[in-house]
Structure 1
């Protein structure tokens, strides 16, 4: 799995999931549980993840939808 977007914006996450589902690209949301535990103060963003082989296409879909500014440009280590 590779990180595509990290954000606390629930609407953005839902929009990204819908866009990618329309392209038959499965997503997983990481860090949802920690975000709930920290009291929703926004300290820990949720990460939208996709399979490695879907990552290039997912990035293209988001760019075409005008969401390129939200893309993670490199893996965090």
Structure 2
């Protein structure tokens, strides 16, 4: 799996999830439940991952939505 976005912005996490859901691209949000540990302060970023084979399509969708600045660099 590849990391697509890392952010503290829960609205952005929802928006990216909705875009990926709309394109039927399976994704996973990691660290979503870490707010219990951090006390809901939003300090720890959430990470959105997609399968390797969906990486390019997911990046294209986010870029088309004007979110290319949120994408993690390719490794």
Q: Same fold (TM over 0.5)?
A: yes
Q: Which runs of 5+ in 2 are unaligned?
A: none
1:11-50 correspondence runs (5 A): 11-50=11-50
Deviations 1:46-67 (A, max 9, x none): 0011111101110000000000
Q: How many residues in Structure 1 have an aligned counterpart in Structure 2?
A: 75
Measure, in 2, the Cα distance between the counterparts of 1:18 and 1:40.
22
Does the Cα contact within 8 Å between 1:35 and 1:45 map onto a contact in 2? no
Q: 1:39 Cα shift?
A: 1.1
- Runs of 4 or more above 3 Å deviation: none
Q: Could you tell me the TM-score, scaled by structure 2's length?
A: 0.90
What is the TM-score with the length of structure 1 in the denominator?
0.88
State the Cα RMSD in Å. 1.2
